[in-house]
């Protein structure tokens, strides 16, 4: 389970909760412009590309990104989409044949906007090729955004679909068109105090604040997290400055996070929010916190040598950080 959101407040912010029952060696990784990307079933070699920063596991010096943004402020996140994700078994000569684990660098390397992304997607055939025998492919769909808007990309048995995403939120199953329909059931929700429309002859008043949003889902299912994240995002009020925006972004993610013990997988394991991230797409700063460490850590890609050819990696700060006042 995962939740990805976008937020515009002065600068553009993107990020996600990654909900999982295990760690995958994740770390913050900056890929500089001259790192060489090679692709399994495509002869293209990406050099002198846009730099990017995000969360990845690095295997054999290759960054397997869960989500990342490039220096132009384009963001791509892969979210779990089991059962519905279907990749192509055919190598098509008239297409760019790209594996799911290659999609993020393929799109971010040369895309300065969603317009560029759409052009690349029109030529892509996402193929059923795993990274290795020990690392089978996960069924994914993708949340992609720039500073103006966002889209969702899904590969199903019916082929690739690209949806406009006016909500700026993505979770997991069912497919995205369901979420766009489902949100219409919650049009009556409001952050304001409700008015009595129950019966004109009965005098009814509220007995507490927050009653305008009675019916807002609170469980951890993908459909419920989509609605709650969308409602909170649309009604969020950020304090001024970078700190206010980042703080509000993490508060939204906290409201749809998984607490240990609240979600048990079919294998009997605890599904938790292993980390939450927020990327300032304008400044190239990657913020994150982990399940056991709520202190926000920041990595500024522009403080690295972006003309380098070597990955820059930062291990996650996962231990609880408490300030003892006395």
In the chain, count of helices (H) and strands (E)? 5, 18
Spatial CA neighbour of 95 closest among 121, 113, 65, 72: 121
Q: What is the pLDDT of residue 245?
A: 97
Q: What is the pLDDT of residue 43?
A: 87
Rounded distance, CA 230 to CA 179, Å?
A: 11
2 is catalytic: yes
Element (H, E) at 312: strand 312-315
pLDDT along the chain (326 residues), means of 10: 94 97 92 96 91 97 97 98 95 95 97 98 96 92 97 96 98 97 95 87 87 92 98 95 97 97 91 97 98 97 98 96 94
Q: What is the pLDDT of residue 194?
A: 83
Rounded distance, CA 147 to CA 166, Å?
A: 13
Beta bridge partners of 87: none
DSSP 244-282: HHHHHHHHHHHTTPPPTTT-B-TTS-B-EEEEEEEEETT
Question: What's the gap between Cα 54 and its chain centre?
Answer: 10
DSSP 33-91: TT--EEETTEEEEE-S---EEEEEEEETTEEEEEEEEETTS-EEEEEE-TTT---B-S-
Rounded distance, CA 275 to CA 284, Å?
A: 19
Residue 180 φ then ψ, to 5°: -65, -30
**What's the whole-model pTM score?**
0.95
Residue matched to tokens 């192509």 = 88
Element (H, E) at 289: strand 285-290
Residue in 2, 155, 238, 278 annotated catalytic: 2
């Amino acid at each position: 389970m995962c939740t990805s959101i976008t937020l515009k407040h002065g600068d553009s912010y993107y990020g996600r909760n990654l909900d999982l029952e295990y760690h995958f060696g994740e770390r913050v990784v900056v890929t500089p412009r001259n790192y060489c990307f090679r692709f399994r079933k495509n002869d293209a070699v990406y050099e002198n590309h846009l730099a990017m920063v995000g969360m990845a596991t690095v295997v054999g010096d290759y960054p397997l990104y869960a989500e990342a943004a490039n220096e132009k402020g384009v963001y791509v996140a892969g979210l779990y989409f089991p059962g519905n994700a279907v990749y192509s078994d055919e190598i098509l000569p008239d297409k760019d044949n790209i594996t799911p684990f290659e999609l993020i660098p393929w799109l971010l390397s040369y895309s300065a906007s969603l317009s560029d992304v759409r052009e690349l997607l029109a030529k892509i055939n996402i193929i059923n090729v795993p990274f290795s025998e020990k690392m089978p492919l996960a069924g994914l769909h993708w949340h992609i955004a720039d500073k103006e808007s966002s889209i969702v990309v899904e590969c199903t048995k019916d082929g690739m679909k690209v949806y406009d995403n006016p909500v700026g939120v993505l979770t997991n199953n069912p497919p995205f068109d369901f979420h766009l329909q489902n949100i219409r059931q919650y049009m009556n929700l409001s952050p304001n105090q409700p008015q009595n429309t129950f019966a004109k002859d009965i005098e009814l008043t509220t007995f507490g604040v927050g009653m305008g949003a009675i019916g807002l889902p609170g469980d951890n299912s993908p459909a419920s997290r989509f609605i709650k994240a969308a409602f909170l995002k649309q009604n969020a009020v950020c304090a001024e400055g970078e700190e206010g925006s980042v703080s509000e972004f993490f508060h939204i993610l906290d409201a749809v996070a998984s607490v240990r013990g609240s979600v048990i997988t079919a294998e009997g394991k605890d599904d938790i929010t292993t980390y939450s991230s927020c990327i300032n797409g304008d400044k190239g700063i990657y913020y994150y916190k982990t399940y056991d460490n709520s202190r926000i850590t920041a990595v500024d890609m522009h403080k690295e040598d972006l003309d380098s050819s070597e990955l820059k990696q930062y291990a996650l700060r996962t231990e609880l950080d408490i300030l003892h006042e006395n």
